[in-house]
Amino acid sequence: MKIFEIREMSTDEIKKRILEDQKNLVDLKFQQELKQLTNTAKLRLVRRDIAKMKTILKEREMQETKNSKANK
């Protein structure tokens, strides 16, 4: 997932997607342990997507606090 795609999503959508990807990551790790996962690069991609989404959420949170302090 590209970073501009994540930025277009709402905060609630991002949170839902993070939860889905975390569940997916657990399933992928389980498949890898059972030697059923053929494309191991999926693990890395899912971890990176989760990190990107968490970064965007943190940026939005920081922007909100910055704006609230500026308004006071």
Domains and CATH numbers, the chain: 3-71 (1.10.287)
Whole-structure pTM value: 0.91
- b (16+ CB within 10 A) / e for 11-32: eeebeebbeebeeebeebeeee
Question: Residue 36 and residue 34: Cα distance in Å, rounded?
Answer: 5
| Residue 72, pLDDT above cutoff 80 | no
Which two structure tokens, joined as six digits, stand for 60?
């939005």
Measured at the alpha carbon of residue 60, what is the angle toward residues 55 and 63, in degrees to the nearest 5?
125
Contact 25, 33 (CB under 8 A): no
What confidence tens digit (pLDDT) does each residue in 29-65 have? 999 999 999 999 999 999 999 999 999 999 999 999 9
